[in-house]
Amino acid sequence: MYLIVDLGNTLAKFFLYIKGKCVMEKRVDLSKFNEMVESLISNHPDIEGLIYSDVSNQIGGFFEKLSTQFPVIAVHSEMRLPFDNTYESPNSMGSDRIVLVSAASISHPNTNVLIIDLGTCITYDFLDSDSRYRGGAISPGFEMRYKSMHHFTENLPLLESKKTENPTGKNTEQAIHAGVYFGILDEINARIEYYEHKYDSLKVILTGGDANKLPKTLKNRIFANSNFMAEGMLHLLKLNFN
């Protein structure tokens, strides 16, 4: 049994795998992280190994004390990877992006893949058909755009994210929703078109907590399953276990 922990900016996700099959998935607020880990460890004494990804680099140290019970592996750029990392500053590459590219290389070998992760930030990562990671881009996500417009202006209100079908707002609130939603949608479509024009047989994988906010017109793309990152981390664990 393997325990996989994905630590984001707001949530901690836990997965238990037995013989390559996910038998448990839980998501909790980061404030409940310690409690959840201790519960999982005590209730599953047969855990053979643990791998974690910590994008904030704030909680990972908690796992050090568990290394006396079973192997504990942190996702980082210097570990054994299933792809060739050509990023010029590999040590600055977030663990979440490392996991996503690893998962894409496993699920779509010998393929040009663009992975778009919609979370706090929107990340674009490109893996070519020779399993070389070429780099990508990072831009503000939905919530960040709403908060920045409110924070850096005097009169714009802070709104909750909302899907809209009209790019022309009739009032300030509608205009903000239209600006955020269609700004992100246009950005994604333009990025996909760029890679499709430059590379043949491109696969586009959409993932992340905000991927479900995208319209049905993008359904011809691949919406990753909820275990996409967990499966990538499981492969990394096995790859680096010994």
Q: Quick one: which H or E segment has residue 126?
A: strand 121-127
- Cβ proximity of 102 and 81 under 8 Å: yes
Two structure tokens written together for 179: 């600006």
Beta-bridged to residue 91, according to DSSP, are: none
Beta-bridged to residue 135, according to DSSP, are: 126
Q: Which of 6, 54, 96, 210 is catalytic?
A: 96
Query: How far is it, in rounded angstroms, from Cα 179 to Cα 74?
Result: 38
For 212, counting Cβ atoms within 10 Å of its Cβ (0-12 exposed, 13-18 middle, 19+ buried), the class is exposed
**Selection from 86, 114, 123 nearest residue 201 by Cα:** 114
Q: Is 200 a catalytic residue?
A: no
Q: Catalytic amino acids?
A: 96
